[in-house]
A and B are shown apart, each in its own frame.
Chain A
Amino acid sequence: MAFVIVEPHAPLKTVSVGEGTSALRRAAARGRLGRVPAHLLLILLAVVSIYPVYWMFVTAFRPGDEALSTSPLPGPVTLDNFAYVWKTIPMGGMLLNTFGMASLLAVAQLLVAVLASYGFARWSFAGKKALYLLFVGSWLVPFQVTMIPNYLMVSQMGLLNTVAGVVLPQLCSAFAVMMLRQHLESFPRELMDAAQMDGRNAWQTLWQVVIPNLRPALAALAIMLFISAWNEYLWPTLIMQKSQDLVQVGVRAFLGAEGNNWGAVMAASAMACLPVFLIYVFLQRYVVDAFVRSGLK
């Protein structure tokens, strides 16, 4: 990075156009110098953010006799801890089940939300405002307030300790409906009208015109729904009390049993995070955009 010597400047008394621009130039130069502390701040923030994750992997790859080492540097690498986890609990099955659960949930939530948001964005109809308010209002209903009736309902259906019991109550994501409605409201109306002119009905317009044009937004939302489903904790642990088919419950039980065997504990934790991390490594922009965009508007 270039350092620029800032020329000492006389205080401005009369502001002419020329002086105004030179003030701007000086501000820019000061900005370049000022970037050093900004970089330092971001480096500090990045280190604080990443160190625990780094530490998780370092510990997981350490051989048993060095498990309690506090050296921040990685030493000899071994896969012993991962092998131990793999041997002790059915990690492969758990990961597969959780992957299936999260994918199913993301796709179902997306489908339900696409239909609903299309209905809201395309037509005006009686009760539209009130119906939409149902979705907005659901933000105010914390899951813990409805968990007992939901639990009873799943139990009556005989779905306790099944992945279906985890998925069913979450099929409608009010958040996804609201996000997609925003996208659809800004979808060019002319395209829909043109499709209609070509003889497509509303259903065909949705699948042949709207969805292909909305692919990036849908992909970002799907990734976000998948990650949220993967990281969901309360409901899976409530429903799967006697089953260990999902990562959240299976790994939790393993961590409880292993106590301070940190190498194994970190290896199991790392595996529980791995799919989401892989998605992040390959689709970083999508992931950040999806989560952060949701915070805009």
Chain B
Amino acid sequence: MFVEVLPGGGPAASPVQAVAGRAAAARHPLARRLVPYLYILPAVVLLVLWTYWPLLQNVGLSFQDWNLIPTRPRVFVGTEKYAKVLSLPELRQALMNTVVYIGAFLLISVALPLVFALLSRSVQGRARTFYQALIFVPFLVTPVASSAVWRWLFAPDSGTIPAIAAALGHPMGDVFRDPDGSMTSVIVIVGWQMLGFGVLVIAAGLAGINPDYAAAAALDGARRRQILWRITVPLLSPSLVFLSLMTILLSAQWTYPIIDLVTQGGPGNSSTNIYYLLYQFGFRNFDAGLSAAAGVLFFVGFGLVALLFVELSERLSFHDN
């Protein structure tokens, strides 16, 4: 969706518009030119005020030492905060975790849904609507509730999952307090919420592919595997690109509430991610400069990754024109 940035310039003013506007234009040529800007103004002002101006302020903060208390002075410290943030072992851990999270969600919200959607393509009509309605539900569960349910399912004393694990001969303890299990548990919870969304996006993409292509290829003697890899998957690439880009950009945001509610990044930073780290720097350690410096670095890093990805996908993806 946001891969194609601009669908060409807008349509030029139509002749009708020109006729209708001529009288007004003669009197207020400037006013008429201002009209489109007036429509856009509220959105742009809000966007600048709450997104871009804070982004700049954040850059300013990243060169300061300040504990967020308004009465305390802000001390300019140059690039000290950047040096500090880069030397922190927590940062390395959080970065690695973020990469693992992204990899896991590329699997759960792109690759698995692709397989599921392709395998279940033959189910149509009411049955399909029914399954899809159920599969989408987890996506709508509010984070406080999903974290609570999964804490209950994973509860060591009487939770369903440890009970099943014990019955199968693999007793498990408190997964959220286990340095080797905490991240997996976050992946399970967030993956549970995102899987259905991925399946539905890809199923909708599949439904939008003209079946004539596959039928024509079949008549020409193409095997099913050939049809799949040469026709279906390439035609699906816009959906796949969208889901992948969303996963890369947003998986750190998706995991944030669950990390905060279930593991608080622990034990020992084993399940933290970069955004949770930003939150801790800022609102737990009250080190605004450190949080801001890390934020600037992540913003630049993610920006580069996203641009690279868009560039790559523009080359690789295949449009049905």
Contact = CB atoms under 8 A, between A and B. Distances in A.
Interface of A: 12, 15, 20, 23-24, 27, 31-32, 34-35, 37-39, 41-43, 45-46, 48-50, 52-53, 55-56, 59, 68, 70, 72, 112-113, 115-116, 118-125, 128-129, 131-136, 138-150, 152-153, 155-156, 168-172, 174, 177-178, 182, 185, 189, 193, 196-197, 202, 227, 230-231, 233-234, 237-238, 247-248, 251-252, 255, 260, 262, 265-266, 268-270, 272-273, 276-277, 280, 284, 287-288, 291-297
A142 B252 contact: yes
A35 B131 CA distance: 14
A269 B145 contact: yes
Most A CB atoms within 10 A — which of B17, B159, B256? B17
A146 B55 contact: yes
B10 A121 contact: yes
Given A49-B195, A129-B9, A155-B70, 20 more contacts: A15-B221, A35-B123, A55-B152, A56-B152, A115-B42, A119-B36, A132-B5, A135-B43, A139-B2, A141-B51, A141-B55, A142-B298, A146-B55, A148-B292, A202-B35, A248-B142, A262-B152, A295-B239, A296-B1, A296-B242
How large, as a class, is the contact surface on chain B? Answer: 35 or more
A84 to B, nearest CB: 15
Contact of B43 (A70, A112, A193, A202): A112
Contacts, number: 321
Interface in B174-213: 192, 195-197, 199-201, 204-205, 208
B135 interface: yes
B149 A41 contact: no
Interface in B108-145: 116, 119-123, 127-128, 131-145
B119 to A, nearest CB: 6
Contacts of A42: 120, 123, 127-128, 131, 135
A291 B299 contact: no
B163 interface: yes
